[in-house]
């Protein structure tokens, strides 16, 4: 073989070797690129985009259909990747139908977990029942809440005649306004399709949690029934405007009860009148009603509103004072007195 032929042969070998090296590099780069690309498929579409995307997964949807819905809404990077991961983890059959609120900052793993756990979005309604509301006000508030569909007559029927089985209701007979004072004032969040009985039970449950066992024992120490405690607490709730004064106002009523004095609570007159008048007249104070504490000794026959826990606690644990009178200052606070003469003086100074 000539030197020229040998040189050509060597040149060809080098060329083939170089081509092979280049091809190998191309394969390696492609493989690395593919690997990098594969690893991005499970990442969030946009880690910084937390805008809520509403989607609905119809009942009986296949993994392929769910993947299509997710990709169509821009929630995943690749439909086939989602299907592959679902198959590998054997979760496709666990996906639950429903309404979901997702966003583009969720990775595939997080979306899979939400769908498999049935972490569906359920529309709820939040509402507040203020302390001191009477049962009629509570009912009016409930039936007026936008988003709920509660019937006033059903609420009344349930409140008056249903059996509930709570310890604090054992001695209270069925009838009109029997739950006065026991529908606990608080902020609640309920499903939009909540039923009337569910609402009532939820509010009674809240009262049951607040009125702990310690309070039952304390009521016995005071020789008071639970209804008497809540009745007094409801009066305190309606009379007090400043939290720190609740135990002091309670002490005034406890002291008056011990001395067989009339409670003379304007709040009970307002309840008897059926309206909350800013100023009561002398004629108002003469209304014939068992709730008129200006003419009837002792506590009224039942609560006059729904007290919050501070008022319940104040009724059970009054401050140790000798006060028998209090008069409003006009700023929500009160002046307290031990004597009638001091009370009249304070009344004249604050009117």
**Which mean pLDDT values do the consecutive 10-residue runs of the chain (351 residues) have?**
60 62 54 56 89 90 93 92 89 87 92 88 90 96 93 95 92 90 96 92 96 97 97 97 95 97 95 86 92 96 97 98 92 91 88 71
Q: Which residues contact 158 (CB under 8 A, 6 or more apart)?
A: 196, 197, 200
- CA end-to-end span of the chain: 131
The CATH superfamily label for domain 53-117 reads Endolytic murein transglycosylase (3.30.1490.480)
Instruction: Supply the pLDDT for residue 277.
Output: 79
Two structure tokens written together for 57: 């997964």
Two structure tokens written together for 187: 């902020």
What's the whole-model pTM score? Answer: 0.73
Instruction: Supply the pLDDT for residue 350.
Output: 78
How many Cβ atoms are within 10 Å of 267's Cβ, its own excluded? 22
Instruction: Supply the pLDDT for residue 266.
Output: 92
Q: Where in the chain is the domain with CATH 3.30.1490.480?
A: 53-117
Instruction: Supply the pLDDT for residue 322.
Output: 96
Which of 221, 207, 259, 234 has its CA nearest to residue 314?
Answer: 234
CA-based angle 130:132:136, to the nearest 5? 85
Q: Are the C-beta atoms of 197 and 158 separated by less than 8 Å? A: yes
Instruction: Supply the pLDDT for residue 50.
Output: 87
In angstroms, the CA 326 to CA 334 distance is: 6
The angle, 0 to 180 degrees and rounded to 10, between the axes of the packed helices 196-210 and 152-161 is: 50
**Per-residue burial over 268-277, b = 16 or more CB atoms within 10 Å of its CB, e = otherwise:** bbbbbeeeee
- Strands 187-191 and 325-328 turn out to be unpaired
DSSP helix/strand/coil, 300: coil
Residue 131 phi, psi dihedral angles, 5° rounding: -60, 140
From residue 331, alpha-carbon distances to 334, 335, 351 in Å are: 8, 11, 12
């Amino acid at each position: 073989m000539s030197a020229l032929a040998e040189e050509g042969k060597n040149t060809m070998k080098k060329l083939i070797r170089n081509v092979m090296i280049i091809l190998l590099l191309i394969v390696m780069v492609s493989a690395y690129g593919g690997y990098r690309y594969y690893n991005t498929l499970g990442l969030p579409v946009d880690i910084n985009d937390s805008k809520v995307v509403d989607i609905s997964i119809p009942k009986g949807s296949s993994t392929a259909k769910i993947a299509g819905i997710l990709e169509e809404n821009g929630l995943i990077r690749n439909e086939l990747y989602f299907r592959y991961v679902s198959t590998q983890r054997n979760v496709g059959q666990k996906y639950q139908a429903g309404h979901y609120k997702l966003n583009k900052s969720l990775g595939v793993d997080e979306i899979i977990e939400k769908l498999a756990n049935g972490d569906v979005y359920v529309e709820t309604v939040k509402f507040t029942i203020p302390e001191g509301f009477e049962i009629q006000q509570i009912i009016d508030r409930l039936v007026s809440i936008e988003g709920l569909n509660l019937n006033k007559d059903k609420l009344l029927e349930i409140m008056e005649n249903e059996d509930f089985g709570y310890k604090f209701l054992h001695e209270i007979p069925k009838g009109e306004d029997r739950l006065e004072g026991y529908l606990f004032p608080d902020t609640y969040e309920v499903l939009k399709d909540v039923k009337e009985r569910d609402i009532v039970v939820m509010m009674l449950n809240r009262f049951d949690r607040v009125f702990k066992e310690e309070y039952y024992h304390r009521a016995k120490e005071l020789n008071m029934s639970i209804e008497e405690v809540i009745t007094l607490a409801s009066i305190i709730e309606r009379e007090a405007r400043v939290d720190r004064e609740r135990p002091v106002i309670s002490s005034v009523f406890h002291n008056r009860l011990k001395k067989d004095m009339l409670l003379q609570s304007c709040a009970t007159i307002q309840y008897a009148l059926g309206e909350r008048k800013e100023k009561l007249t002398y004629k108002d104070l003469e209304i014939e009603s068992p709730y008129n504490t200006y003419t009837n000794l002792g506590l009224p026959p039942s609560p006059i509103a729904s007290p919050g826990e501070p008022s319940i606690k104040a009724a059970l644990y009054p401050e140790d004072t000798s006060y028998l009178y209090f008069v409003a200052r006009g700023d929500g606070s009160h002046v307290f007195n031990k004597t009638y003469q001091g009370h009249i003086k304070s009344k004249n100074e604050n009117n």
